[in-house]
Amino acid sequence: MAKQFHIKDEVSPLKSVILGRADSPGPMPTPEQCYDPKSREHVLAGTYPKEKDMVNEMAAFEQVLKKHGVQVYRPELLENVNQIFTRDIGFVIDDTFIKSNILPDREAEFQAIEGILSQFDQQKIVQPPEEVHIEGGDVMPWGKYIFVGTYRRPDYPDYITARTNAAAVDFLQKTFPHKQVVPFDLKKSNTDPRENALHLDCVFQPVGYDKAIIHKEGFLEPAQYRFLVDLFGEENLFHINKDEMYDMYANVFSISPNIVVSEKHNKRLNNWLKEQGFTVEEVPYKEIAKQEGLLRCSTLPLQRAKNE
């Protein structure tokens, strides 16, 4: 019998996940080939991450996931392809897997997980229409809500960093009519990583059932930021500044409501999480962070425990 997808939120106990892979990521890109300003910055500075370091970082993350009893799938190896950020290529809401319409250059990355997805209910794998631009880093199921990071201004085509459009918001609302889809317009920059919210999970992330990490300046509309403040409560939010957003503080990954995986150098955040009673699994991920992605970006959760 086919396995069933099941994701209702960001924090329920994780059962299975696809973790990306860092071996054979291909040659260092040229500045023109970079999809985001942070990667470009490190290419120009000569500090772009090395394969060996990224492989070691992902191995440390995998070890933590397995320690907590999570089934970890890995994509098939594609030679000379960056396969770290599986979050971009798809996501699960409830019992449905949505295949992202991603940058055309990255189509092969999806093919590398098709063997894993073949074990699941094929009737529950959906491809959005072509005009729907959407990436998993912008999509967060949260109970009755689906939070969506987007960019809906007329200059959308000018930003390679704008990955999720207005059509994606409409598509999600039609596909999940029983949910409330809440869009958040994010600040974009092709050149300055401290002014660029690549995805929603770079500026916002729930931890536990009532707390969240947030970067106020990453939101273009104050009212949309205020919605999250009202929903979670000011006292339950950990506000991060531009440098902490750049260091990917918000891009943690929850194994359960009380276990959070975080980058070990992000001390101010990790101390706060511990003060709130979380078990913090600190892993090295600073090299991977140079590509403007961190722990949530490199995971594609397929099943979390059912709470009903």
Chunked into runs of 10 residues, the chain (308 residues) has average pLDDT values of: 96 98 91 84 90 96 98 96 94 97 82 96 96 94 97 80 89 98 92 86 97 96 97 98 94 98 98 98 95 93 86
**Number of domains making up the chain:** 1
Domain assignment present for 297: yes
Domain assignment present for residue 8? The answer is no
Other beta carbons within 10 angstroms of residue 248's beta carbon come to 27
Whether 7 is in a domain gets the answer: no
Euclidean distance between CA atoms 21 and 41, whole angstroms: 23
Question: What pTM did the predictor assign?
Answer: 0.95
In a domain, residue 131? The reply is yes
Domain membership flag for residue 2: no
Name residues whose C-beta falls within 8 Å of residue 169's C-beta, 6 or more positions apart in sequence.
Answer: 148, 150, 152, 181, 183
- Three-class SS state of 238: strand
pLDDT of residue 292: 78
In a domain, 1, yes or no: no
Per the CB < 8 A criterion, the answer to whether 43 and 31 are in contact is yes
Range of the domain at 67: 14-304
Q: Considering the domain boundaries, does residue 151 fall inside one?
A: yes
Q: Looking at residue 191, what is its pLDDT? A: 83
CA distance 40 to 29: 8
Residue 47, classified by CB atoms within 10 Å of its CB into exposed (0-12), middle (13-18) or buried (19+), is: exposed
Whether the CB-CB separation of 151 and 224 falls below 8 Å is answered with no
Decide if 228 is inside a domain: yes
- For residue 246, the domain's CATH number is 3.75.10.10
